[in-house]
Structure formats: structure tokens, C-alpha cells
């Protein structure tokens, strides 16, 4: 297994995990399930750490075999820029989740504003990950590229 294999295997964790945890958090919030909210916030914090590590596997993949990506360098650059934005967003999400864990320690109820911040950041982060995944797919799947789709 090389860095490219590892990146392709692991990048699904944040791409699918962030929206799932945001939905779990929203469900727990709407239905007043404090335990579900706590689990979702904890997973949000853990997922952000994993997601940041996953970003580096992509960097190593490109650096490890630059000739392989020379034909798709434009798409690699777009994907990398998008991944940087998604990583920044997931870092902020993780930071907010850590604050929420601190505010909700013990038997304390999380403030509504904190839940709203987490859901909003989670939705934004999910969108950035969806865009990054789409751009990443275009690297090796030319049929996904909008400029070549009509050919």
C-alpha cells in the first residue's frame, strides 16, 4: 500500500463522517436526547483530528509520485486548494466541539447557541468536503470533469 491507496481509503472518513455526525447532533438536539448530543459532539471532536491527519496522506501521495499526477496537475491543484479549505473548516469544527465538551462537562446542558454553532459549522464543513471529494474524483476520472463531460 502506498500513500495514494491510503489517502483514497481514509478520505471517506471525514467526507461521510462529518455529515453523519451533524445529522446525529441535530437529531439529538431536536428530540432532547442529551446523551446523543454528547456522543455526537465527542465524535465531532475526534473526527476532526482524524480528518486533519487524512489531509496529510494526500500531500504525501502527491509528493511521493509527482510524475503520476503530471497530466492532471490542474485538478490536483484544485483538489488540494479545496482540501485545505475543508481542513480549515474541520479544524474550526473540532475547536468548537472541544469548547462544547468543556461547556457540557459533568451534567451541564449545552447552550442552544453552541448547538447552533456546531450544526452550522458542520453543514458548512460537509459542503466543503463534498466539493473537495468531487474535485478529487476528477483527478483520475476525466468523465467527471465538466470541461470534458460533453465530449
How many folded domains does the chain comprise?
A: 1
Residue 150 has pLDDT above 50, yes or no: no
State yes or no: pLDDT of 59 exceeds 90: no
* Digit-coded pLDDT (tens) for 116-140: 999 999 999 999 999 999 998 888 7
Q: Pick the residue with more confidence: 27 or 149?
A: 27
Which residue bears the cell 465531532? 44
In angstroms, the CA 56 to CA 70 distance is 19
Which of helix, strand or coil describes residue 103?
helix
pTM for this structure? 0.88
Residue 69 has pLDDT above 90, yes or no: no
Of the CA atoms within 13 Å of residue 68, those in its CB half-sphere come to 11
Write the pLDDT tens digit of every residue in 33-58: 999 999 999 999 999 999 988 888 88
Residue 64's CB is within 10 A of a number of other CB atoms, namely 12
User: What angle do helix axes 73-103 and 12-30 make, rounded to 10 degrees?
Assistant: 30
Distance from C-alpha of 44 to C-alpha of 58, rounded to nearest angstrom? 21
Range of the domain at 52: 3-148
Amino acid at each position: 500500500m502506498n500513500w495514494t491507496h491510503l489517502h483514497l481509503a481514509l478520505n471517506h472518513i471525514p467526507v461521510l463522517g462529518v455529515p453523519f455526525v451533524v445529522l446525529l447532533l441535530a437529531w439529538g438536539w431536536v428530540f432532547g436526547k442529551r446523551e446523543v448530543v454528547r456522543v455526537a459532539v465527542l465524535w465531532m471532536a475526534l473526527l476532526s483530528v482524524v480528518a486533519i491527519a487524512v489531509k496529510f496522506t494526500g500531500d504525501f501521495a502527491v509528493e511521493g509520485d509527482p510524475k503520476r499526477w503530471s497530466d492532471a496537475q490542474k485538478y490536483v491543484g484544485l483538489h488540494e486548494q479545496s482540501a485545505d479549505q475543508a481542513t480549515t473548516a474541520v479544524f474550526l469544527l473540532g475547536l468548537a466541539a472541544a469548547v462544547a465538551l468543556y461547556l457540557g462537562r459533568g451534567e451541564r446542558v449545552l447552550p442552544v447557541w453552541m448547538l447552533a454553532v456546531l450544526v452550522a459549522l458542520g453543514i458548512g464543513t460537509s459542503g466543503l468536503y463534498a466539493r473537495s471529494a468531487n474535485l478529487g474524483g476528477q483527478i483520475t476520472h476525466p468523465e467527471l470533469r465538466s470541461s470534458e463531460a460533453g465530449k
